[in-house]
Chains A and B, each alone.
Chain A
Amino acid sequence: MDALALFLEFSLVGFASGGIYVLAGLSFVIVFKSTTIFNFATGEMMMLGTYLFFLFDLQMGFGWMGGLIAALAAAAGVAMLTDRVILRPLIGRPHIVLVMVTFGVASIMRGVAGLIWGPNVRQLTELLPRTPVFLGDILVPGKLAWGFATAGLIALAFMLFYRYSRAGTAIRATATDQITAESLGINIRMVFLLSWGLAGVLTAASGIILGSVNGVTPQLGLVALNVLAVVMLGGMTSVFGVVVAGLFIGWLETIVGAYLGAAWQSFIPYLIVLIVMFVKPTGLFGEQRVERI
């Protein structure tokens, strides 16, 4: 196979793995936009959602379909519980406190997963077909291709919901201006709850897709930094930006990993974060909320 075809194949694999980042990034953005909380527990929510799928599907024997529905519902429940029990009492407190709390929640989630399921890798049911997909000459591993398709569908459904549904409009109104939204009769607390619930579903979905490729360990939350890099590059507040940045970073990681080696690949997220902070703190498509000093 010539070099160009190989490059194209790596590129497609990269985009496919970027789909997971898109979902997790969307979850981060929806929480940040509506509640202005910087959620450091995004990676851990992915990890916990994946374990919930493992719990319902294999340990409790619901089968994959029932397990999936139960896991997504439970992940949404956990996220909403976090909002209602931990974050709502903190409304109006300094921003640093809210961020510290999400960091504490992340630690609790890691600990709970480690306590219940132990440190070893758990394999999930094979949801995605293994047979590779051929696009002309180019071969894409089946799990990645179907994972990407699933992630794309979920992201699309989310964006349609966000754009056209009544609840999505309420979230967007809250994101634009909380006080005006409230004076127009939008129940801000319900919007916060809904945003967290959606974030729980999105993180669990991305975690399950990731887990069905690699299995799940309590360390799965460590992809959080990659997701943060995606979110920063996309601009924190932009749904469209996250889609572009997620695909781009997935692509970049695979290309760098393929041509320069895996050690270089692990530095990509830090490099992206550093470059964005130096060059354009608003990210590619962010609002001009970020202030330089």
Chain B
Amino acid sequence: MSEQTTKAELAPKGSMVDSRALELAGWLALVAFIIALPFFGSVWALYMGCLVAINVIATVGLNITVGYAGLLSVGHSAFLGVGAYVSALMWIHLGTPLALNIVGGAVAAFLVGLLFGIPALRIKGVYLAIATLAAQYSLYFVFQQWTPVTGGDRGLSLPKIDVFGFGDIGFYFVVAFVALLTTLASRNLFRTRVGRAFIAVRERDYAAEVLGINMVSTKLLAFALGAAYAGAAGALLAAFLRIVNPDQFTLLVSVFFLAAVVVGGRGTTLGSILGAVFMTMMPEFIRFVLEHLAGAEADMAGLLSPLREIIFGALIVGFLIFEPRGLVGLLKRAFGHVEEVEARAEH
């Protein structure tokens, strides 16, 4: 890692400015697209825009855990669920505004993440994956069985939200704003001491510890931060769909987010955005293809769910074997972009 940093600093000034200008242009284009979407797109485009933005938040969060800190979490959707339920309950029982609900959902998911992370992260190895799998099953169980609070299988219904009197478009801008903010925050996190500590722990944990980084608290923070992002995304999802039930937070959804991180490219913010967009659009694409192949009368729901499991799994396996840097790597290859990063060992 340190070698790469020095190389980057020694690189000619011109290329640095270029890549920064390119990145700024990219962000500006993204903002312009976000603003333009509701004025030119259909209702469907607005709906998909909200869904993509929510998934971007959750994927960026999982990328902090899996991509940057190198910890495997396979129960991401459970933390979305915590955020969704907590924010919905705050809304129903306390009548708090949306902004506070989002923060509440994020904080709750952060704390639940700590609860599952503390025992697992004190040991080296894949124990976090087991603990998050346990979180996946046990939190689903809680959502489903704690009927007086969570409403059981029927779940919770929420009243319609109206942001600044703009209806759906207003809500879309809120979601897009939160997504932009959290993505920028995650990107800038890796220019700070805390964020770089995540990477250092991923690359060589003992070396990081020698450099004065507390391994356990760094890993815990990386995992709980990912969970907090999921909590915020869950709170927005609850407000967006206006219904929260256990079946939104199954293992399949966790596989979805893991696939989004892997497909986009682990350890890059651009990758998380690309991965979330790709993965959100793909089920729509499958549905479209199926409708044309099998006709509308086919048993869509029965076919779609297993197909998704196959495709999500195959994407994870295929990208890890053939292009570990994900869509970002493919893009770079397509543009003939060769940097030192190419030579960097995989993490």
Interface residues of A (CB under 8 A from B): 38, 40, 86, 89-90, 93-97, 99-101, 103-115, 118-119, 218, 222, 224-225, 228, 232, 263, 266-267, 269-270, 273-274, 277-278, 281, 290-293
Comparing B32-40, B313-321, B332-340, the segment that makes contact with chain A is: B313-321
* A105-B315 Cα distance, complex, nearest whole Å: 10
* A110-B324 Cα distance, complex, nearest whole Å: 24
From B205, B258, B312, B316, residue with most partner A Cβ within 10 Å:
B316
- Inter-chain contacts of A106 with B (CB < 8 A): 313
Q: Is B122 an interface residue (CB 8 A)?
A: yes
Size category of the binding interface on chain B: 35 or more
Inter-chain contact A228/B316, CB cutoff 8 Å: no
Inter-chain contact A104/B123, CB cutoff 8 Å: no
Inter-chain contact A292/B123, CB cutoff 8 Å: yes
Q: Is B124 an interface residue (CB 8 A)?
A: yes
Inter-chain contact A107/B313, CB cutoff 8 Å: yes
* A97-B345 Cα distance, complex, nearest whole Å: 13
Q: List 24 A-B contacts (CB under 8 A).
A: A90-B321, A93-B320, A93-B324, A96-B72, A97-B320, A97-B346, A100-B320, A104-B255, A104-B316, A106-B313, A108-B313, A110-B309, A110-B313, A111-B310, A112-B306, A112-B310, A113-B306, A225-B137, A228-B130, A267-B141, A270-B134, A273-B131, A274-B119, A292-B122
Q: Is B74 an interface residue (CB 8 A)?
A: yes
- Of all chain A residues, the one with the shortest Cβ separation from B312 is A107
- Given A89-B321, A273-B130, A277-B127, verify A115-B120 contact (CB < 8 Å): no
Inter-chain contact B124/A94, CB cutoff 8 Å: no
* A266-B134 Cα distance, complex, nearest whole Å: 11
- Inter-chain contacts of A96 with B (CB < 8 A): 66, 70-72, 126, 347
- Inter-chain contacts of A97 with B (CB < 8 A): 320, 324, 346
* A2-B17 Cα distance, complex, nearest whole Å: 83
- Inter-chain contacts of B312 with A (CB < 8 A): 104, 107
- Inter-chain contacts of B306 with A (CB < 8 A): 110-115, 218
Q: Is B125 an interface residue (CB 8 A)?
A: yes
* A113-B258 Cα distance, complex, nearest whole Å: 21
A102 to chain B, nearest CB (A): 9
B324 to chain A, nearest CB (A): 7
Inter-chain contact A277/B321, CB cutoff 8 Å: no
Task: Classify the interface of chain B: helix, strand, loop or mixed.
Answer: helix
* A66-B140 Cα distance, complex, nearest whole Å: 40
* Interface positions of B from 188 to 217, Cβ below 8 Å from A: 205, 215-216
Inter-chain contact B308/A111, CB cutoff 8 Å: yes
Inter-chain contact A293/B130, CB cutoff 8 Å: no
Q: Is B148 an interface residue (CB 8 A)?
A: no
- Of all chain B residues, the one with the shortest Cβ separation from A224 is B133
* A228-B129 Cα distance, complex, nearest whole Å: 11
* Interface positions of B from 289 to 310, Cβ below 8 Å from A: 302-303, 305-310
Inter-chain contact B215/A293, CB cutoff 8 Å: yes
Inter-chain contact B130/A267, CB cutoff 8 Å: no
Inter-chain contact B134/A104, CB cutoff 8 Å: no
* Interface positions of B from 242 to 298, Cβ below 8 Å from A: 252, 255, 258-259, 262
- Inter-chain contacts of B96 with A (CB < 8 A): none
Q: Which 10 A-B pairs have the closest CB atoms?
A: A111-B309, A107-B313, A114-B306, A104-B316, A111-B310, A108-B313, A115-B306, A277-B119, A104-B317, A104-B313
Additional 10 contacts, C-beta under 8 A, given A99-B72, A107-B312, A111-B307: A94-B70, A94-B346, A96-B66, A100-B262, A103-B74, A119-B302, A218-B306, A225-B137, A269-B134, A274-B134
Q: Is B4 an interface residue (CB 8 A)?
A: no
CB within 8 A of B123: which of A95, A107, A293?
A: A293
Inter-chain contact B124/A290, CB cutoff 8 Å: yes
- Of all chain A residues, the one with the shortest Cβ separation from B215 is A293
Inter-chain contact B137/A270, CB cutoff 8 Å: yes
Inter-chain contact A263/B123, CB cutoff 8 Å: no
- Inter-chain contacts of A274 with B (CB < 8 A): 119, 131, 134
B278 to chain A, nearest CB (A): 16
- Inter-chain contacts of A278 with B (CB < 8 A): 119
* A84-B71 Cα distance, complex, nearest whole Å: 26
- Inter-chain contacts of A293 with B (CB < 8 A): 122-124, 205, 215-216
- Of all chain A residues, the one with the shortest Cβ separation from B345 is A94
* A101-B320 Cα distance, complex, nearest whole Å: 7
* A169-B184 Cα distance, complex, nearest whole Å: 55
- Of all chain A residues, the one with the shortest Cβ separation from B71 is A96
CB within 8 A of A281: which of B123, B317, B321?
A: B123
Inter-chain contact B131/A101, CB cutoff 8 Å: no
* Interface positions of B from 49 to 96, Cβ below 8 Å from A: 66, 70-72, 74
